[in-house]
Amino acid sequence: MKIKLHILRMIAVSLLLLLIGPVKVEAAKKFIPKSAGTKNYTRTSPIPASVRYRGDKNGILFSFLNFNGLESVSYSFTYSTNGIQQGAAGNITKANNPLLTRELLFGTCSGGVCRYHSNLANARLTLNARFTNGNTRTKVYKIRTYK
């Protein structure tokens, strides 16, 4: 008897829901970014660089994942040691092997002997890229110093 009563209640609720009618449900519009549809992606493209510490943390290594769409990238590596500004700079083009990994040390090397600096502060690597379409982009890496 309880089962029949339960089934009758279920049927009544189902009929009531059918009488109320279906509720119209609409999906949200697909999100399309403002830049979609434009063909000039290099204007907003990031600089395809990889920056990481050397294993002993006495320097950093940086390389480019690809150099497509880039004309040149200039770099500036700066830090201070005991209040004295130190650093290195250079320019990378397709002519000087852009996919090569570059090593920048917290110190100096001469005759195969390297002297590493201590009390490092304010270390930065700044990349200034010039794209083949004439646009430029700058990326600054703030580098945490461990010594």
Is pLDDT above 80 for 43? no
Higher-confidence position of 42 and 4: 4
* Amino acid identity at 11: I
| pLDDT number for residue 89 | 95
pLDDT tens per residue across span 7-41: 777 776 665 555 565 545 455 555 555 544 434 43
User: What pLDDT shows up at residue 3?
Assistant: 78
Domains in the chain, ordered, with CATH? 49-143 (2.60.40)
Under 8 Å between Cβ of 72 and 130: yes
Give which of 143, 72, 133 is closest to 104, Cα–Cα.
143
Radius of gyration of the chain (CA): 30
**Nearest C-alpha neighbor of 99 from the set 64, 130, 71, 47:** 64
Q: pTM of the predicted model, to two decimals?
A: 0.66
Contact 75, 125 (CB under 8 A): yes
Confidence label for 125 from pLDDT (cuts 50, 70 and 90) = very high
Mean pLDDT of 140-144: 90
> Distances from the Cα of 121 to the Cαs of 28, 56, 131, 132, in angstroms?
50, 17, 32, 35
Residue 10, CA atoms < 13 Å, CB-side half-sphere = 6
What integer pLDDT is reported at residue 68 of this predicted model? 87
Q: Report the percentage of the chain scoring pLDDT > 90.
A: 46
Query: Torsion angle of alpha carbons 90, 93, 95, 96, nearest 10°?
Result: 30
Helix (H) or strand (E) holding 125: strand 120-131
